[in-house]
């Protein structure tokens, strides 16, 4: 048995794709356990760049079985397009396994995501508009449609009819939109089901068998801890549980099946969409981070909000995920700064918070307490070992490690597969 969970510990886009790629060589099975095509995981291999949204990163390796677990929400049209695009680039997606229990993102979920955001006006969440929230809401309300339903026309028709009775009323009477067409959706989704039939299976059983055989299974988190529905900055979160505990429910394994829990963090911090962000940098520093880090969303192309590393949020994430190690990415991006800030505590109404505050008002209104670290002022993308890094960069990694309370195993110094420095053996 050897399960590893890989989770983002900030607000997403930490470089999970790159680190999954790093681990893939020794992995037999890569499992997505939550989220949907709101994710955008980038992998750079030589001249090739892949941006995967729904298909697990394991698809890129012949020896890996890529699995979409029951906790994921699937837009089947997007999935098929992604599979076709991979085929066109010479990657065979035939080994992809999809849980029959995974819920389907339907056209009315996309429509509802858009109109809800519009109705929220200045209180909008800034979602990816991929229908994620409405699909998870229907799952919890028990009127969702699952992948296995697409394989039986009679069952699908009945479930669709039940769902549309309510959805079309909401779309037309509440939001003043046009209703969606039942026949069109039925035909389209039955066709999707046919095309995906050979991939749909009991993935929880498949994953358990792999673990029982002693194979390495990697649970590839999407989004991140601070976007977790229960533990993130609610309501500015996604609608699933990206934390490591979410891998158990979302993939169908027990807590004892996961031994190693890797937290991925940027050496600074970014956030896409609305919501509080105490360590958000001033516009001039943010612009440097945006440009040096190429901080534009992989899924929506939106410019990411940029700030300094938040050690309070980092400690919170280390605790919630019981991290066994940290991987710090994009260390090279900080090379542009003479001095680097780290948020070590929050201050609110005269009180200092070193632990994540218990009430959202404190997090919304707090000011960051910064500690400054000297920069190294030179290009580090060529570093391949700890000795190649300037002493200031090594000290910065040590500070992150100490402030978060989790050992750093790797530091990434560029987007390419080999732009990585091994810091220490942890597991």
In our burial notation (b when 16+ CB lie closer than 10 A, e otherwise), range 43-77 reads bbeeeeebebbbbbbbbbbeebbbbbbbbbbbbbe
Per the annotation, the verdict on 47 as an active-site residue is: no
Q: Does 21 bind ligand GDP (CB under 6 A)?
A: no
Using CB under 6 A, which of 28, 32, 41, 53 touches ligand GDP? 41
Q: How far is the CB of 89 from ligand IMO (least distance, A)?
A: 20
Q: How far is the CB of 35 from ligand GDP (least distance, A)?
A: 10
- Stretch near Mg ion under the rule CB under 5 A, chosen from 27-35, 266-274, 297-305, 341-349: 297-305
Cα of first residue to Cα of last residue in the chain, in angstroms, is 14
- Stretch near ligand GDP under the rule CB under 6 A, chosen from 72-80, 110-118, 273-281, 408-416: 408-416
Q: Does 193 bind ligand GDP (CB under 6 A)?
A: no
Q: Does 317 bind ligand GDP (CB under 6 A)?
A: no
Q: How far is the CB of 101 from Mg ion (least distance, A)?
A: 25
C-alpha span between 245 and 253 (Å, rounded)? 10
Tell me the β-bridge partners of 309.
342
Q: Does 4 bind ligand IMO (CB under 6 A)?
A: no
Using CB under 5 A, which of 40, 76, 232, 357 touches Mg ion? 40
Peptide bond into 305 cis (omega under 30): no
Q: Does 399 bind ligand GDP (CB under 6 A)?
A: no
Q: What is the DSSP letter of 180?
A: P
- Indicate if the alpha-carbon torsion angle 215, 36, 15, 94 is positive or negative: positive
What is the footprint of ligand IMO within residues 155-184 (CB under 6 A)? none
Q: What is the DSSP letter of 181?
A: P
Q: Does 232 bind ligand GDP (CB under 6 A)?
A: no
Pairing of strands 48-52, 41-45: antiparallel
Q: Does 115 bind ligand IMO (CB under 6 A)?
A: no
Q: Does 221 bind ligand GDP (CB under 6 A)?
A: no
Supply the DSSP string of 269-335, one letter for each residue. EEE-SSS--TTBPPHHHHHHHHHHHT-B-TTT-PBPEEE-EEHHHHHHHHHHHT-SEEEEE-GGGGG
Q: Does 16 bind ligand GDP (CB under 6 A)?
A: yes
What's the full length of the chain, in residues? 427
Q: How far is the CB of 51 from ligand IMO (least distance, A)?
A: 9
Among 28, 41, 103, 109, the active-site one is: 41
C-alpha span between 94 and 109 (Å, rounded)? 28
Only one residue has tokens 């390419």, namely 416
C-alpha span between 205 and 203 (Å, rounded)? 5
Q: Does 314 bind ligand GDP (CB under 6 A)?
A: no
Q: How far is the CB of 393 from ligand GDP (least distance, A)?
A: 12
Per the annotation, the verdict on 230 as an active-site residue is: no
Q: Does 13 bind Mg ion (CB under 5 A)?
A: yes
C-alpha span between 270 and 304 (Å, rounded)? 6
* Residue 133 · residue 116 · CB < 8 Å: yes
SS3 256: helix
Q: How far is the CB of 153 from ligand IMO (least distance, A)?
A: 30
What is the footprint of ligand IMO within residues 5-64 (CB under 6 A)? 8, 11-13, 38-41
C-alpha span between 35 and 38 (Å, rounded)? 7
Q: What is the DSSP letter of 416?
A: B
Q: How far is the CB of 209 from ligand GDP (least distance, A)?
A: 28
Compare residues 80 and 125 and give the one whose CB is closer to ligand IMO.
125
Q: Does 231 bind ligand GDP (CB under 6 A)?
A: no
Binding residues for ligand GDP, per CB under 6 A?
A: 8, 12-18, 40-42, 44, 293-294, 298, 329-330, 332-333, 412-415
Catalytic positions are 13, 41
Binding residues for ligand IMO, per CB under 6 A?
A: 8, 11-13, 38-41, 125-128, 130, 132-133, 222-224, 227, 238-239, 272-273, 298
Binding residues for Mg ion, per CB under 5 A?
A: 13, 40, 298
């Amino acid at each position: 048995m050897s399960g590893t969970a890989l989770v983002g510990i900030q607000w997403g886009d930490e470089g999970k794709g790159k680190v999954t790629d790093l681990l893939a060589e020794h992995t037999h099975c890569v499992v997505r356990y939550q989220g949907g095509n709101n994710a955008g995981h980038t992998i750079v291999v030589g001249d090739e760049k892949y941006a995967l949204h729904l298909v697990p990163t394991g698809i890129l390796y012949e020896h890996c079985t890529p699995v979409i677990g029951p906790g994921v929400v699937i837009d089947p049209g997007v999935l098929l397009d992604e599979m076709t695009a991979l085929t066109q680039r010479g990657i065979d997606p035939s080994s992809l396994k999809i849980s029959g229990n995974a819920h389907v993102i339907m056209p009315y979920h996309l429509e509802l995501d858009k109109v809800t955001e519009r109705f929220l006006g200045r209180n909008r969440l800034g979602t990816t508009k991929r229908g994620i929230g409405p699909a998870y809401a229907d799952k919890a309300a028990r009127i969702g449609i699952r992948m296995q339903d697409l394989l039986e026309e009679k069952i699908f028709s009945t479930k669709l009819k039940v769902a549309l009775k309510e959805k079309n009323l909401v779309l037309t009477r509440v939001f003043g939109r046009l209703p969606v067409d039942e026949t069109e959706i039925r035909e389209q989704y039955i066709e999707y089901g046919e095309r995906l039939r050979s991939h749909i299976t009991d993935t929880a059983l498949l994953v358990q068998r792999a673990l029982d055989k002693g194979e390495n299974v990697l649970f590839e988190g999407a989004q991140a801890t601070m976007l977790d529905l229960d533990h993130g900055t609610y309501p500015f979160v996604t609608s699933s549980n990206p934390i490591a505990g979410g891998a158990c429910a979302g993939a169908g394994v027990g807590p004892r099946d996961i031994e190693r829990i890797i937290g991925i963090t940027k050496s600074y911090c970014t956030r896409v969409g609305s919501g509080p962000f105490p360590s958000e940098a001033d516009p001039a520093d943010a612009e440097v981070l945006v440009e040096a880090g190429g901080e534009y969303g992989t899924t929506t192309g939106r410019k990411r909000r940029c700030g300094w590393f938040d050690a309070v949020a980092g400690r919170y994430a280390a605790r919630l995920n019981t991290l066994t190690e940290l991987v710090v990415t994009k260390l090279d991006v900080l090379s542009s700064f003479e001095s680097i800030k780290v948020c070590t505590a929050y201050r609110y109404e005269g009180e200092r918070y070193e632990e994540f505050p218990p009430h959202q008002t404190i997090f919304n209104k707090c000011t960051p307490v910064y500690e400054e670290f000297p920069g190294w002022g030179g290009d580090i993308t060529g570093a391949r070992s700890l000795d190649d890094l300037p002493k200031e960069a090594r000290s910065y990694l040590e500070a992150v490690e100490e402030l978060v309370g989790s050992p750093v195993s790797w530091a990434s110094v560029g987007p390419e597969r080999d732009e990585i420095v091994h810091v220490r053996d942890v597991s």
